[in-house]
Structure 1
Amino acid sequence: MRIIFTLYFTFFTALLFSQDVAIVKYKGGGDWYSNPTALPNLVKYCNDNIDTNINENVQTVEAGSIDIFQFPFLHMTGHGNVFFSDDDAENLRNYLISGGFLHIDDNYGMAPYITKELKKVFPNSELIEIPKDHKIFSSAFNFPNGLPKIHEHDGKAPQAFGIFKDNRLVLLFTFESDLGDGWEDPEVHNDPEDVREKALKMGANIVKYVFEN
């Protein structure tokens, strides 16, 4: 028990002082590796515009690895199936209640799978829509209308959902927005510059919110 406590204390201390971010690799066959330039571009944007000092060499960590505790911010995306083993779910739950944060960005088609798997992580919690006046929409840049629309999927409005623990937002699920596509290199999707800028600004809001709360 003392060894476990020491480990979690060490991980919690690392979360307090680290500004590094990582991509989550998960099981199930979904393309966790999609949008390879997205998070590195967001990191550079944050370092250039909101005074962060994040390592631009973005790491990949597995959902069930204790390595996730080195990173206060985890990003997860994909189009398809997601599967968390019991060990994965327990590891993510411990990480999130210890001070970590997970941003899941639906790259189109991920929603039915991830919502089911999140019940393993927090069986008694529901994803709830985050109100537009939440400070995640204004921590660095103002988004009075909430989550911006970056790519069209099914003609639905973009929505931001969250899971809260002790009044702290520990998990953000962005749906029908596709922020990650907007963070990619310009030639990947040929988005107009103002659309990419909106995506990067909203991403910077998420990062700033995580590091300051």
Structure 2
Amino acid sequence: MKKFLFLTILLGAAFCARGQEIALLKYGGGGDWYANPTSLPNLIRFCNLNIGTKIATKPQTVELSSPDLFSYPFIHATGHGNVVFSDAEIENLRKYLEGGGFVHFDDNYGMSQYLPQQIKKAFPQTPLVELPASHPIFQRPFAFPAGLPKIHEHDGKAPKAFGLFINNRLAFLFTTETDLGDGWENQEVHNDPKEVREKALKMGANIIHYVFNY
């Protein structure tokens, strides 16, 4: 308990120093972690305009092994395919999440068969569970009564949001079969209709709102 409290205080102090900065995760395994380069900047602009955040407009890039990880309250990751964490990265991830950090992995397609195995290494006794539509992340500030929205089609499967909870706090979010990040991209990248992009941005804003308010 003392160790957990210390980590929480330490991480909280780092978060205060950086304010509302967020970062993109660079991970190993061969997946294209750098996919969707316009996504986070667009989401940040949307949040700053619509939900009162003051997030630094240029997101940073961070690795799980870096001490800088603890400077960001919200870490986003995306890509296609394999994800591999080293033992040191797993330990750092565990400390980060237990100390109050939040990680969101958005499957750009092909990640779902790899990522859960890596998370299980960090939290073998804490399973990823599917979030119900009643979870606060789908309620505020924008209502998604059916839960996670569908943005891009892949296999005809329903969108799913899986979470890992630490002391009843959602600390890790994995969204799959939705492609939120594609919806955050510049319009000309995927030529999505305005209503689809808006839906993706609103869901992203809900995630940001949850991180900074719960």
Which bin holds the TM-score, normalised by the shorter protein?
over 0.9
Distance in 2, Cα, partners of 1:9 & 1:194: 41
Q: AA paired with 2:35?
A: S
1:6-155 pair list within 5 angstroms: 9-16=9-16, 18-155=19-156
Q: What is the CA RMSD across the aligned residues, in angstroms? A: 1.4
SS of corresponding position for 1:112: coil
SS of corresponding position for 2:114: helix
Distance in 2, Cα, partners of 1:87 & 1:13: 23
Distance in 1, Cα, partners of 2:33 & 2:48: 24
- TM-score norm. by structure 1 comes to 0.95
2:11 and 2:100 in contact (8 A); partners too: no
Q: Tell me which residue corresponds to 1:161.
A: 162
Taking every aligned residue pair, what percent have the same amino acid on both sides?
60
Query: Which shifted more, 116-125 or 42-51?
Result: 116-125
SS of corresponding position for 1:132: coil
CA displacement, residues 26-55 of structure 1 (integer Å, 9 cap, x when unaligned): 011110000011011100100010000000
Distance in 1, Cα, partners of 2:175 & 2:117: 15
Distance in 1, Cα, partners of 2:188 & 2:38: 11
CA displacement, residues 169-198 of structure 1 (integer Å, 9 cap, x when unaligned): 000100100000000000000000000000
Distance in 1, Cα, partners of 2:204 & 2:9: 29
Distance in 1, Cα, partners of 2:104 & 2:45: 18
Distance in 2, Cα, partners of 1:14 & 1:134: 28
1:162-201 pair list within 5 angstroms: 162-201=163-202
Distance in 2, Cα, partners of 1:115 & 1:105: 12
Deviation at 1:64, TM superposition (A): 1.1
Distance in 2, Cα, partners of 1:144 & 1:31: 32
Deviation at 1:16, TM superposition (A): 4.9
1:16 and 1:72 in contact (8 A); partners too: no
Distance in 2, Cα, partners of 1:6 & 1:151: 42
2:43 and 2:204 in contact (8 A); partners too: yes
Deviation at 1:8, TM superposition (A): 6.9
Distance in 2, Cα, partners of 1:14 & 1:211: 14
Ranges of 4+ aligned residues in structure 1 off by more than 2 Å: 5-12, 14-18
Q: AA paired with 1:52?
A: T
Corresponding residue pairs, total? 209
- Unaligned regions of 5+ residues in structure 2, if any? none
Distance in 2, Cα, partners of 1:146 & 1:69: 30
Q: AA paired with 2:156?
A: G
Distance in 2, Cα, partners of 1:165 & 1:87: 20
CA displacement, residues 103-146 of structure 1 (integer Å, 9 cap, x when unaligned): 01000000111111111121111110001011100121000000
Distance in 1, Cα, partners of 2:64 & 2:162: 20
- Unaligned regions of 5+ residues in structure 1, if any? none
Asked whether 1:211 is paired with 2:212, we answer yes
CA displacement, residues 6-26 of structure 1 (integer Å, 9 cap, x when unaligned): 887443212256211100000
Distance in 1, Cα, partners of 2:169 & 2:49: 27
